[in-house]
Amino acid sequence: MRIRYVFKGTKEELKLNPNVGTFSWFLHRITGLLLLFYLFTHMWVLGSANKGAEAFNQRLSAVQTPLFHFLEIGLILVIFYHMVNGLSITLMDFANISSKHKSLVVAVVLVFAILAIVSLSVMLPRLFAPHISTGGLA
Amino acid sequence: MSTTTFKIFRYDPDDGRDPHFQTFQVETVKGMTLLEALYWIMEHKDPTFAFRSSCREANCGSCAMHINGSYGLACRTQVDNLKPPVVIRPLAHLQVLKDLVVDMKPFFDNLKAIKPYLIPGDDPPEKEYYQSVDDRKKIDHHVDCILCGSCYGSCPVAYGDPKYLGPHALLKALRFVDDSRDGATDERLAIVASEFGVFRCHTIFNCQLVCPKDLNPTGAISKLKNKIVVKKFPFMKPFVRT
């Protein structure tokens, strides 16, 4: 019941308050949950190191597939959004610049875009064409 | 004179029907406010239509409602500026009693929780309190709040938790904390630092966007947060603005 209440309420809030703040709040919560999910997956892979090198290599190779490479791109975007938005809220509170909300939103979008473009331009060739980008070392 | 379509939220607990939207065609004239249009509907179309209003000049805060995607006062909204069909809903997060009338009790209970009145300090003056012009300027902004409930309706945190004090109560708390005559600053900071106080705020900025008086409850909440941080950790003083 409680979960249904939360889903219904979130839908209503997005509908009744179609403002930038509502959407960034919604995305912040969703990306937070996704990061929590990633943390458990991450520990599941790393935890296998307790059972020796063989088990660790085996589990690591299980996540070195094109599907997981695509998910890694999503992960980078999720981390950057959650990080940039979180930092902007902290800055807003500490520096008390709430009256400059619109400039803050523009700054968040710009920093997010720069981080995403730079990291993806490094990451994409390494993930999908390692023989070209690293001279066959990867 | 032209005709504008209105879609209005209707609910009557006595007639047994579910809440629904009813469409009205309203004859509007230039300069007509939304409140006048609502009165026109009540007088010409349906005398059972219920809504709150009083002063008609954005001073009493009775006629706050959800108008075409945002909260605002009906009395200071021009019908000409609204895109038809004009969709009107009651304030959110408060129980609907009838049509656009909601039960404001939780809203005012939250306000009472922060003790919205002057509490004298240990040593009250013999005559009147003296307040310098500079000290008065500190609260100039916050005293304008008319408690219409627009900010409370627009705050998604208030949906999730009715005990959350809400932007209106926290803005009022800062009004007394910043008042040089008030002697209960520590007491009030303890109230707003509680589980349902300032730290529940998710900095969504809806309250700031919808405020019909152009006040800044989000800024007030962040100021209160900083005051609480400095009170607990005095070494943080150079890093925050209170």
Q: Using CA atoms, how far apart are residues A43 and A58, in angstroms rounded to an integer?
A: 15
Q: What is the CATH number of the domain that holds B219?
A: 1.10.1060.10
Pairing assessment for the beta strands B86-89 and B2-10 based on DSSP bridges: parallel
pLDDT (tens digit per residue) in B10-52? 999 999 899 999 999 999 999 999 999 999 999 999 999 999 9
Question: Of B102, B120, B139, at which residue does a domain stop?
Answer: B102
Q: What share of chain B is helix, strand, coil (3-state, %, to 5)?
A: 40, 15, 45
Same domain, B210 and B110: yes
Instruction: Tell me the nearest-neighbour CA distance from A1 into chain B, angstroms.
Output: 13
Q: Are residues B76 and B113 in the same domain?
A: no
Q: Reply yes or no: is the peptide bond before residue B85 cis, omega within 30 of 0.
A: yes
- Quote the domain boundaries for residue B139: 105-239
Contact present, B62 and B50 (Cβ < 8 Å): no
Say whether both B151 and B77 belong to one domain. no
Bridge partners, residue B70, by sequence: B67
**Quick one: B90 and B198 in the same domain?**
no
Strand B64-67 and strand B20-28: the pairing is unpaired
In the structure, what pLDDT confidence band is assigned to residue A134 with cuts at 50, 70 and 90? Answer: low
DSSP state of B132: -
Q: A22: which chain B residues are within 8 Å (Cβ-Cβ)?
A: 156, 204, 206
Q: Mark whether B112 and B173 lie in a shared domain.
A: yes
pLDDT exceeds cutoff 90 at B208: yes
Domain count, chain B: 2
One-letter amino acid at B200 equals R
Domains of chain A: residue spans and CATH: 2-133 (1.20.1300.10)
pLDDT in tens, B102-157: 999 999 999 999 999 999 888 888 888 889 999 999 999 899 999 999 999 999 99
Average pLDDT of every residue of chain B? 93
Q: Which of B92, B160, B204 sits opposite A22 (nearest CB)?
A: B204
Domain co-membership, B17 together with B52? yes
* Domain stop point among B102, B125, B159: B102
**Residue in A96, A99, A106 to test binding to B, most B beta-carbons within 10 Å:** A96
Boundary-marking domain end, from B75, B102, B129 = B102
What are the backbone angles phi and psi of residue B11, rounded to the nearest 5°? -160, 130
- Inter-chain CB proximity B92 and A16 less than 8 Å: yes
Q: What is the pLDDT of residue A1?
A: 63
Which among A12, A16, A96 has CB closest to B241? A96
Going by C-alpha positions, the residue among B226, B193, B215, B237 that lies closest to residue A93 is: B226
The share of chain A scoring above pLDDT 90, in percent, equals 51
Residue B209 and residue A19: Cβ atoms within 8 Å? yes
* pLDDT given for residue B219 in this prediction: 93
Give pLDDT, residue A126: 79
Q: What pLDDT score was predicted for residue A138? A: 45
Which of A103 and A128 is assigned the larger pLDDT?
A103
Dist. CA B18–CA B21, nearest whole Å: 10
Across the interface, of A12, A28, A98, the residue whose CB is closest to B218 is: A98
Q: Which residues pair with B27 in a beta bridge?
A: B3
Stated as kind and residue range, the H or E segment containing A53 is helix A53-62
> Are residues B109 and B90 located together in one domain of the fold?
no
ipTM field: 0.86
CA dihedral of residues A102, A107, A113, A118 (deg, nearest 10): 180
**Confidence (pLDDT) at A27:** 94
Instruction: From B185, B60, B61, B170, select the one nearest B118 (Cα to Cα).
Output: B185
CA–CA gap between residue B227 and residue B232 (Å, rounded): 9
- Taking phi over 0 as left and psi of -120 to 50 as alpha, with beta for the rest, B20 belongs to beta
CB contact under 8 A, A25 and B156: yes
- CATH label of the domain that carries residue B91: 3.10.20.30
